């Protein structure tokens, strides 16, 4: 039986693209106000390309978006004579906006219902802060790639979630939008894998999710149905 849940965040509870676009605009505005020479030399598109180059140059930090962002900021600020204080302030301008997300319409009602029934852990490769966003009360644990030192689909991060939730992997349902990172990662870690397929996409692999839903509103009944079928002896693999 399912005794706990883990939830992906970006593109599961909110769309990530608008949040990142807003954060990039906030960073550009901060640079224009405080470091105009850097803003002139590094418009948003150039900063985005630089971050990609830094990601490729530092694969040891691929799981840590905060470090990668600060490395890119340091690379543009330091040559212009700005200090580490400016790096931190610029990152804070970006990060505050990155956490101003617009939740999917079904997210808050689902979180309220689900967290009243099961303990829930965040399980994310990103660096969102659910407390800043205002939904931290729904989570019993917070597991992210940056603190674990490994990213989905690696089994290490799923194992950490199981430890934090105090349950064996087989008693946890992991819910996420990404077929590879979330679904295959969860399956191979021994969890019940739930694919949140909001767009009606075709499933791309031979190995399938245990459960597929098209909204978070359907998660609780889908879990109940899966457990009932398991209890009746059906093969739900």
Average of per-residue pLDDT values in the chain: 96
Q: Mind giving me the DSSP string for 39-79?
A: HHHS-HHHHHHHHHHHHHH-GGGTT-HHHHHHHHHHHHHGG
Check whether 233 has a pLDDT greater than 90. no
3-class state of residue 112 by DSSP: helix
Check whether 18 has a pLDDT greater than 90. yes
Residues 195-219, mean pLDDT to the nearest whole number: 97
Q: Answer whether 175's CB lies under 8 Å from 184's CB.
A: no
Q: Answer whether 98's CB lies under 8 Å from 25's CB.
A: no
Q: What is the pLDDT of residues 83-118, one digit of tens each?
A: 999 999 999 999 999 999 999 999 999 999 999 999
Confidence band for 33, pLDDT divided at 50, 70 and 90? very high
Rounded-to-integer distance, Cα 16 and Cα 124, Å:
12
Share of the chain above pLDDT 70, in %: 100
Residues 220-230, mean pLDDT to the nearest whole number: 96
């Amino acid at each position: 039986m399912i005794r706990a849940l883990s939830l992906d965040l970006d593109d599961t509870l909110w769309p990530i693209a608008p949040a990142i676009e807003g954060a990039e605009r906030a960073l550009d505005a901060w640079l224009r106000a405080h470091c105009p020479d850097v803003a002139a030399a590094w418009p948003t598109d150039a900063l985005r390309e630089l971050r990609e180059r830094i990601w490729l140059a530092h694969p040891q930090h691929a799981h840590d978006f905060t470090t990668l962002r600060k490395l890119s900021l340091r690379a543009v600020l330091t040559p212009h004579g700005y200090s580490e204080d400016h790096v931190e302030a610029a990152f804070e301008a970006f990060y505050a906006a990155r956490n101003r997300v617009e939740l999917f319409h079904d997210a808050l009602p689902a979180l309220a219902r689900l967290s009243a029934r099961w303990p829930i852990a965040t399980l994310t490769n990103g660096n969102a802060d659910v407390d800043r966003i205002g939904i931290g009360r729904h989570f019993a644990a917070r597991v992210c790639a940056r603190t674990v030192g490994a990213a989905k689909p690696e089994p290490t991060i799923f194992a950490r979630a199981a430890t934090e939730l105090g349950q064996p992997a087989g008693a946890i349902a992991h819910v996420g939008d990404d077929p590879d990172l979330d679904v295959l990662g969860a399956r191979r870690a021994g969890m019940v894998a739930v694919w949140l397929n909001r767009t009606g996409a075709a499933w791309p692999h031979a190995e399938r999710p245990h459960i597929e839903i098209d909204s978070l509103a359907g998660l609780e009944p889908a879990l109940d149905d899966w457990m009932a079928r398991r209890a009746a002896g059906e093969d739900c693999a």
